[in-house]
Amino acid sequence: MLRARGAACAAALLIVLLGAGAAAAQQRSPGNSGGLPTNLPRAPADPNALVRPPRDDAPPPGRGLTALRVGAVADGAAKVRRERREYPGATREVYLKGTDRWQVSYFAKTRPGTPRKEIAQVLIDDRSARVLEAWTDYQVPWSMARGYSGAFG
């Protein structure tokens, strides 16, 4: 019982200290950055977040490929061709992923109101236009099944 109270007190103290630091950070004037440069670019919260390109027919800023070209490269992957034969009417969506990759996701045709099922996923390198990875079946939703180093600890 005493141990649980001690843990609760430690957690409460941590919350108070973190809150004080956040409050102090908010009290800085806009011109005072604490001596740090203010013009540094901000990193995205998640470097692997998927972002739709603004256009399909023109390379996004900092990229060499268009979404149309990336989709065509992914369509040529043997695993994708096989899945599209098995799932007629499958659709494709192209995303920017990180700073130098694209992800192409393929979805089985479904009835309106039913959850989509991703049937294939392809990662493409922007510089070389080469397929880096292609996944189907259970490897699409379960990245631990892809054989990545360290996936199991």
Q: Quick one: CATH architecture of 50-145?
A: Roll (3.10)
What residue spans of the chain are helical by DSSP H?
A: 2-27, 67-75, 78-86
pTM of the model: 0.66
Query: Can you tell me whether residue 134 is helix, strand or coil?
Result: strand
Per DSSP, what are the bridge partners of residue 106? 92, 120
Q: What are the residue ranges spanned by the domains of the chain?
A: 50-145
Please spell the DSSP secondary structure of 39-77, one letter per residue: -PPPPPS-TT-EE--S-SSSPPTT-SS-HHHHHHHHHTS
Q: What is the pLDDT of residues 66-96, one digit of tens each?
A: 999 999 999 999 999 999 999 999 999 999 9
Token readout for 33 is 């950055």
pLDDT band at 18 (very low <50, low <70, confident <90, very high): very low
